[in-house]
């Protein structure tokens, strides 16, 4: 298939683009940052455009008529979204509708209804109070990021209802790890932040509360495989939602202990007051496993941390600037 991958300069998008290419698909990577070319397979076509600029999308050939699309371009930081909500709605909602409009122009010209896989998030559920969370749980996002993802999901579903699109929505639960040249460099997330302390780039890890909050982590390779699997399952006129999670709950304290075990280095902590957020976020992923046969063999916290550590430049620990510490729950 001819497949467009948006957000291919990002962590999950880059792994997904490379995996699709390795599986024999003709991949076009849509990026804003031209330097992403160096991190992707050489056989991947790289085009540059901003999803907020319809003319750039047209110039990049988005309307040429792709068989499949994996839409991963997004802003993804929950706390940042509270400070700049309009920026998040523009990127995640307007960017998605602009992409859908460009693809629809291609569908009308070629008659090809593309297979569309949208990367969403567990943030759409909000604080459910219970885990694991099934797809049947009514979404109730508690931050602009989750609300923007839910609005984009709805746009995708309504477009699929026209019959000019077949869609699958993948709601991910904390993607982590590394493969090849692709690693998570976002130090606002717990594992990169903890590894930053282990390398000495940071002097301590800030824990909000008691460290008992439970999350689950999906290895980036398993997440990319979910996109490949979902592309095959789309049906024109339908939009299906799947959770993508390991089902293995891990506390913040457990993550930090694993980082210490894998790296052989201490991760000093600084304890801060708790912040309002769910105590547990674990996916009920039985639907994607039953319907699509997806599995997550790489998604143990030990393998995720070990692969992320191998991708990290590891100098001898040095004293970091005082106060230069990540804030991660």
- List pLDDT tens digits, range 282-313: 999 999 999 999 999 999 999 999 999 998 85
Question: Hey, what are 183's tokens?
Answer: 């690693």
SS3 for 161? coil
Q: What is the pLDDT of residue 83?
A: 97
Write the pLDDT tens digit of every residue in 142-158.
999 999 999 999 999 99
Query: What is the reported pTM?
Result: 0.91
- What's the mean pLDDT in 207-221? 91
Spatial strand order in the sheet of 214-216: 249-251, 214-216, 280-281
The beta strand positions in 72-155, using DSSP E, are 115-121
Phi and psi of 280, rounded to 5°? -145, 135
Active site residues: 145
Compute the distance between CA of residue 272 and CA of residue 258 in angstroms, rounded to an integer. Answer: 21
Class of domain 2-175+219-244: alpha beta
Q: According to the model, what pLDDT value does residue 92 have?
A: 98
The predicted pLDDT at position 41 comes to 83
pLDDT confidence of 316, banded at 50, 70, 90? very low
**64-86 tens-digit pLDDT:** 999 999 999 999 999 899 999 99
Q: Which tens digits make up the pLDDT trace of 21-68?
A: 999 999 999 998 877 666 788 899 999 999 999 999 999 999 999 999
User: CA torsion sign, 129 to 134 to 139 to 142?
Assistant: positive
Dump pLDDT digits (tens) for 104-143.
999 999 998 999 999 999 999 988 777 899 999 999 999 9
> Can you give the pLDDT at residue 313?
56
Q: At what angle do helices 11-22 and 220-231 cross, to 10 degrees?
A: 60
Beta partners for residue 4, in sequence order: 28, 69
The predicted structure's pLDDT at residue 137: 94
Which letter, b or e, does each residue of 176-210 get, where b requires 16 or more Cβ atoms within 10 Å of its Cβ?
bbbbeebbbeebebbbbbbbbbbbebbbbbbbbee
Cα 160 to the chain's mean position, in Å? 22
Superfamily of domain 176-216+247-281+295-328, CATH level 4 = UDP-galactose 4-epimerase, domain 1 (3.90.25.10)
Q: What is the pLDDT of residue 28?
A: 97
pLDDT at 229 over 60: yes
Hey, where are the domains in the chain?
Answer: 2-175+219-244, 176-216+247-281+295-328
Give the total residue count for the chain: 329
Residue 238 CB contacts under 8 Å (≥ 6 apart), including other chains: 160, 166, 167
- The pLDDT assigned to 38 comes to 67
């Amino acid at each position: 298939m001819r497949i467009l991958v948006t957000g291919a300069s990002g962590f999950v998008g880059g792994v997904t683009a490379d995996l699709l290419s390795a599986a024999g698909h003709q991949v076009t990577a849509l990026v804003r940052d031209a330097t992403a070319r160096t991190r992707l397979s050489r056989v991947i076509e790289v085009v540059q455009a901003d999803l907020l600029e319809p003319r750039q999308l047209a110039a990049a050939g988005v309307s040429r008529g792709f068989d499949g699309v994996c839409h991963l371009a997004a802003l993804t930081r929950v706390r940042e979204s509270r400070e700049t909500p309009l920026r998040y709605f523009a990127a995640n909602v307007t960017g998605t509708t602009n992409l859908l409009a460009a693809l629809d122009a291609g569908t009308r010209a070629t008659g090809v209804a593309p297979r569309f896989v949208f990367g969403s998030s567990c943030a759409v559920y909000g604080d459910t109070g219970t885990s694991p969370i099934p797809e049947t749980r009514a979404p109730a996002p508690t931050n602009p990021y989750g609300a923007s993802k839910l609005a984009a999901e709805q746009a995708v579903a309504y477009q699929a209802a026209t019959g000019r699109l077949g869609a699958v929505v993948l709601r991910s639960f904390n993607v982590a790890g590394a493969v090849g040249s692709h690693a998570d460099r976002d130090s606002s997330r717990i594992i990169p932040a903890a590894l930053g302390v282990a390398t000495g780039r940071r002097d301590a890890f800030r824990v909000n509360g008691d460290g008992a909050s439970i999350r689950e982590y999906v290895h980036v390779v398993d997440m990319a495989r979910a996109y490949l699997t979902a592309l095959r399952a789309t049906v024109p006129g339908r939009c299906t939602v799947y959770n993508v999670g390991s089902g293995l709950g891990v506390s913040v304290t457990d993550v930090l202990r694993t980082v210490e075990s894998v790296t052989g280095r201490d991760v000093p902590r600084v304890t801060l007051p708790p912040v309002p957020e769910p105590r547990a976020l674990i996916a009920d992923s039985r639907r994607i496993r039953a319907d699509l046969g997806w599995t997550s063999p790489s998604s143990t916290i030990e393998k995720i941390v070990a692969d992320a550590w191998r991708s990290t430049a590891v100098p001898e620990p040095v004293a970091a600037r005082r106060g230069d510490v990540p804030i991660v729950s």
